[in-house]
Chains A and B, each alone.
Chain A
Amino acid sequence: MSAPTYDLGTLHGGLRLDAHKGASTRMPMQTMPIPERLVLPLDQHVGEAATPVVAAGDRVLRGQLIARQSGAIGAAVHASTSGTVVAIEPRPVARRHGDPAPCIVLESDGEDRAVEPAKTPGSPGETRPEQLAARILDGGIVGLGGAVFPTAAKLADARSAGLDTLILNGVECEPWISCDDTLMRERADAIVAGGRLLLEVLGIDTAYLAVESDKPEALDALADALGRSGDERFRLKQVPTIYPSGAEDQLVQLVANREVPSGGLPTDAGCLVQNVGTAAAVYDWIERGEPLISRITTVTGPGVANPMNVLVRLGTPVADVIAFAGGYTDAARHLVIGGSMTGKSMSTDRVPVVKGTNCILVLTEARSSGAVRACIRCGECAAVCPIRLLPQQLHWFAAADDESALREHGLLDCIECGCCDLVCPSHLPLTTTFRSAKARIRELEDEKARARRARRRFEARRERLAREEETLSADLDRQKRVAKSAGADAIAEIMRRKRRQDDD
């Protein structure tokens, strides 16, 4: 039942990269001590930032809700340990490349006392899947593969879309990162249990566990866990080690052999993809009452003395994690949060580990290599693009700021995997160009929406003014009619009275 299977769809392009994962998986997972100060950003996820429910000076316990989810798409934040809230203020965060964003600063009391997990108020007649879905919302769980989309919102979408396949993503195709590999080796049972909960929420009974072929230990651990659970609904799928086979749409293509339509989501192909870490987090919250307050992070790269995977409380400064891994080597030059392909370069290590921090990578040189030259139209970029886009064409259109051509050529489907950058012999910063072109298109869309609204208001105002004008002239007409019908004597009488008043 749980022998890895291979019948796969195909992936266009992609790259076989040096994985660099061995360094951080040499030793088993380490657990980091709780630091004195934790910094918990309010927007660790896609969607609206959470709203604080504590104030400076409040004492909190581990797992206590400190910021509630706001907006339709959002996630709650919980205290990572017990202690005192010392401030709610802007601090540098990784999501903004080290620029400040609102954070709750927590001072640990060293006792790490847990709160009794709050019950999710249920409504009568609620089915078990509905209860579970509501419960997941309260756990502050987000997609831990890096996209940090709130899991509850994703599940709600999936439930209404009606789908048949759950894919647990353990591919982890990006170089350097090995936190999912570590999780699969150490906590395979939690992943399977979380997957079973997700199947229950979705009301479906097909699930794939997808793992890259370069992770034999993880494959073995998952096969064992599946054997122990005896759950026939899961199938282990081994996928080839090609970057970016772990990207959502690409994984759907590989595992289910279905194509996600342009502009669509995996749900449009009847699939839901969840990271294995997310599944384990769902298990931890539902069965053990522990919300998302810690995660496994890979700290690695030639700039780190002792690469490893560590279990870290959210809010721990990145600098502390690097120090725990033996500190920087002399050659360390460049800090990246995330992997070498899609990670964000940081100017400071004073940012905290958050829900989406899968990797802390210290390199000995900046990632861009070589001087930028003109495009020679070699077409290498088109050959490796997993979306089958034409990066060299998009590059010209972006330079010309030609919005409609960019749209026509599918810019909005670009997943920013960075393959085109890597193969470009002219070292063009293609992904960066595409990212800003996308932002520009979104900006134009916003502008258009604003213009439409202003026009509606302008027209409504004109109508209102016309209406007022009409009422006014109708009133005048009426007064004239009244005066006329009263006759000349009455008017003369009024004029006399007025003159008398003026004389007085």
Chain B
Amino acid sequence: MLTAVVLFAAIALIAGVVLAYTTDRLPAPDDDIVERIDELLPQTQCAQCGYPGCRPYARAIADGDAPINLCPPGGETTVRRLAELLGREPLPLESPPPVGQVAVIDESRCIGCLHCRNACPVDAIVGAQSLMHTIIESECTGCELCIEPCPVDCIELRRTA
């Protein structure tokens, strides 16, 4: 009887010390969960969620600052996957998802102002001051961030499907 009590007390003590040590010294798995959330996001870097890119949004979700339904390009699928990963309730999307799209510059109207190039989150726009710009179609994520800055409205979105 006594042996059992002592034995279990000893086990509890050792386990307690080990756990206290690991929570204190080992890095918190925060980065890991941010990484796993980021993995599920579509990486359009479109900032439509209100955060400057997918990873910042992933961090905000992990910290509990942002709901999981702010990503329109990800669509219902991403919301569902995030809900599964985090054990939260799937919420309806804030705004409807755009279809597969890429931005296209009307090269005859482009004045070479660099505004769109500087706005592109994935460096998919090629061009230099006063020279025509163009979009590398295969790298464009269709995030729409280049549309607004264009002073001559020469960028339009085209469906890829």
Contact = CB atoms under 8 A, between A and B. Distances in A.
Q: Do they bind each other?
A: yes
DSSP class of A's interface residues: helix, strand, loop or mixed? helix
Interface string A425-453: 00000000000000000000001001111
B69 interface: no
Contacts of A455: 38, 43, 45, 54-55
A453 B141 CA distance: 10
A454 B43 contact: yes
A83 to B, nearest CB: 38
A458 B121 contact: yes
A457 interface: yes
B93 interface: no
Nearest to B143: A454
Contacts, number: 35
A455 B139 CA distance: 11
A480 B118 CA distance: 28
Q: How large is the interface on B (under 10, 10 to 19, 20 to 34, 35 or more residues)?
A: 10 to 19
Interface string B20-44: 0000000000000000001001111
A452 B43 contact: yes
A202 B95 CA distance: 58
A454 B41 contact: no
B139 A457 contact: yes
Interface string A51-83: 000000000000000000000000000000000
B122 A461 contact: yes
Interface string A451-489: 111110110110010000000000000000000000000
B53 interface: yes
B41 A451 contact: yes
B5 to A, nearest CB: 47
Contacts of B38: 455
A457 B42 contact: no
Contacts of A461: 121-123
Contact of A453 (B41, B53, B139): B139
B121 A451 contact: no
B111 interface: no
Interface residues of A, number: 12
A464 B38 CA distance: 21
Contacts of B41: 451
A453 B45 CA distance: 12
A460 B123 contact: yes
B124 interface: yes
A454 B53 contact: no
B47 to A, nearest CB: 11
A453 B122 CA distance: 9
Interface in B115-148: 121-124, 139, 141
Contacts of B43: 450-452, 454-455, 458
Nearest to A462: B53
A460 B43 CA distance: 13
Interface in B91-118: none
A454 B45 contact: yes
Contacts of B122: 454, 457-458, 461
Contacts of B45: 454-455, 458
A454 B123 contact: no
Nearest to B45: A458
Interface string A199-241: 0000000000000000000000000000000000000000000
Contacts of A450: 43, 141
A454 B42 CA distance: 9
Nearest to A453: B139
Contacts of A460: 123
Contacts of B54: 455, 458
A461 B121 CA distance: 7
A454 B43 CA distance: 6
Nearest to A461: B123
Nearest to A447: B42
B123 A451 contact: no
A451 B39 CA distance: 9
Interface in A257-300: none
A298 B113 CA distance: 63
Nearest to B38: A455
A458 B123 CA distance: 7
Nearest to A444: B77
A63 B44 CA distance: 49
B42 A451 contact: yes
Contacts of A464: 123
Interface string A296-307: 000000000000
A384 B42 CA distance: 40
Contacts of A447: 42
> Which of B41, B43, B53 has the most chain A CB within a 10 Å cutoff?
B43
Contacts of B141: 450, 454
> Which of B38, B122, B139 has the largest count of A CB atoms less than 10 A from its CB?
B122
A472 to B, nearest CB: 14
A457 B53 CA distance: 12
A183 to B, nearest CB: 42
B125 to A, nearest CB: 11
A455 B45 CA distance: 8
A460 B122 CA distance: 8
A100 B123 CA distance: 36
17 contacts: A447-B42, A450-B141, A451-B41, A451-B42, A451-B43, A453-B139, A454-B122, A454-B139, A455-B43, A455-B45, A455-B54, A457-B124, A458-B53, A458-B54, A460-B123, A461-B122, A464-B123
**Closest 4 pairs (CB-CB, A-B):** A451-B43, A457-B122, A454-B43, A455-B43
Interface of B: 38, 41-45, 53-55, 121-124, 139, 141
Given A451-B43, A454-B122, A455-B54, 17 more contacts: A447-B42, A451-B41, A452-B43, A454-B44, A454-B45, A454-B139, A454-B141, A457-B123, A458-B43, A458-B53, A458-B54, A458-B121, A458-B122, A461-B121, A461-B122, A461-B123, A464-B123
